[in-house]
Homo-oligomer: A and B are copies of this chain.
């Protein structure tokens, strides 16, 4: 949902825009921009990414299907939602269903949109779309990419609540929709 206020500033004017990198995993742009005040910034860096998807998947016996994997930015392993990149030609829902199946072997159930978030509205172009999948079933094994090393963990909803309150899900794009789900369902 977008809300506009009368005193919201307008979009910056882009005076110049140059790609520093257009590589498979790195698209980095330098914009020269003009602010509402007329002041200019010569070096505003924006990273372009495709849309991201993730899913809060819950089994019929009310356990969340979480994953753990090593993350090199922080150099740590933590609980995450199954997640991935939206690929050309699929819907966000199809992308989330594909990622859940690939990373965990779970599928099916009833799917609905849960939350749309920005990883960083200042520095990144993309949004992350979270789905809620209730009643998923394990129908197969993981189908991981060659560089993926992911373990699957079933976490009962009360343990999920403790886990997130204790900071064991550090990825903001995953913590926020889980907290929204817990709040919506008065699982506080």
Query: CB within 8 Å of B: which residues of A?
Result: 1-5, 7-12, 20-21, 23-26, 28, 31, 33, 35-37, 39, 41, 43-47, 68-79, 115-125, 127-128, 146-147, 149, 151, 153, 163-168, 170-173, 175-176, 179-180, 182-184, 186, 188
Contacts and interface: CB of A to CB of B under 8 A. Distances in A.
A79 B118 CA distance: 12
Contacts of A170: 116-118, 121, 127
A84 B176 CA distance: 20
Nearest to A48: B73
A142 to B, nearest CB: 13
B118 A74 contact: yes
A4 B26 CA distance: 31
B117 A175 contact: yes
Contact of A1 (B44, B153, B168): B168
A128 B172 contact: yes
B39 A172 contact: no
B28 A74 contact: no
Contacts of A186: 186, 188
Contacts of A123: 73
Contact of A73 (B36, B120, B128, B182): B120
